[in-house]
Amino acid sequence: MIEMISIDTNLCIGCPACFRACPHGLIVRQDEGASRTIRFSCCEVDCDICVKICPEKALSFAEKGGETKIVLPLQPCSSCGRFFATKPMQEKVRSCVSVELQKDSGGWSWLEACPSCRRDEEGARAVREILSRRS
């Protein structure tokens, strides 16, 4: 039976769980400019991994044909300005991480920074720490 993924756009946060889990490559995520598009193709196999793995329970099956897609705006990195995450994704992480851990001791909010800038900041911090121990 050919089934279609149905997406509840009120629940989807645009995270990578479903497309990373799909063993058939039928879910495609594309970031372009300030938006993220996730496309769901018809599924001809008896598989429900994407539905089960969705942390927000936004996916279900429907007996429809064609492609379904959702487009979500992306938020810019506070350091480099590159678009990297959806606001609902940031809010989800913010709700799961204690307020004390959302900023470093200097007040820098890692939640607002892209993975590349986070790595750069952590690397620079580690170098500063090592150099301060040598003095």
The per-residue pLDDT for range 4-62, each reduced to its tens digit, is 888 999 999 999 999 999 999 999 999 999 999 999 988 877 789 999 999 999 999 88
CA-nearest of 63, 61, 64 to 49 is: 61
Find the CATH number of the domain harbouring 46. Answer: 3.30.70
Q: pTM of the full predicted structure?
A: 0.83
| Model confidence at 2: pLDDT above 70 | no
Report how far residue 50's alpha carbon sits from residue 89's, in angstroms, rounded to the nearest whole number. Answer: 17
Question: 101 and 85 in one domain?
Answer: yes
Q: pLDDT band at residue 93, thresholds of 50, 70 and 90?
A: very high
Instruction: State the amino acid at position 4 in one-letter form.
Output: M
Same domain, 19 and 45: yes
Residues 44 and 99 in one domain: no
Domains of the chain: total: 2
Max avg pLDDT among 85-99, 102-116, 121-135: 85-99
Say if CB 42 and CB 6 are below 8 A apart: no
pLDDT (0 to 100) of residue 65: 64
Split at pLDDT 50, 70, 90, the class of 63 is confident
Domain coverage including residue 13 = 4-74
- Per-chain mean pLDDT for the chain: 91
Residues 105 and 126 reside in one and the same domain: yes
pLDDT of 1: 58
Going by C-alpha positions, the residue among 18, 113, 32 that lies closest to residue 68 is: 18
